Structure 1
């Protein structure tokens, strides 16, 4: 399941770079690539625990 997030990031980056390098830049493809990239980054960041959560747990238990 976590590989889907990384695949989204890679696909989004490739599409965004491809859309940017063309001589006739297609803005919709560029925006779509950036959106896919950001969805992947968001999904990865949701899985990373926050440091603040750890500090709150330690303060409550202490």
Structure 2
């Protein structure tokens, strides 16, 4: 089962994308609705990307461990 944080991320990405698409599809585009949809979309993507670990984290840790071992 999805936890609450992932569910919030997923819902904000889907709703933000739908709102932005809807605002873009109208003949008279409502800029504020389009901006709101984009902000919600970016918010969901940002929250999702915070939970993905960086590929550089493992390299720095292994470098520090080998450097400390060499000094001893």
Task: Sort the TM-score into its range (normalised by shorter chain).
Answer: over 0.9
SS in structure 1 opposite 2:12?
helix
Where structure 2 has 5 or more consecutive residues not aligned to the other structure, the ranges are 67-72
The partner residue of 1:25 within 25, 29, 32 is: 29
Larger Rg: 2
2:40 corresponding residue in structure 1: 36
Runs of 4 or more above 4 Å deviation: none
Q: Which has the higher contact order (CA 8 A, sep 6+)?
A: 1
Aligned residues: 62
Deviation of 1:42 after TM superposition, in Å, equals: 0.4
Name the CA distance, whole Å, in 1 between partners of 2:39 and 2:53: 23
Could you tell me the TM-score, scaled by structure 2's length?
Answer: 0.81
Where structure 1 has 5 or more consecutive residues not aligned to the other structure, the ranges are none
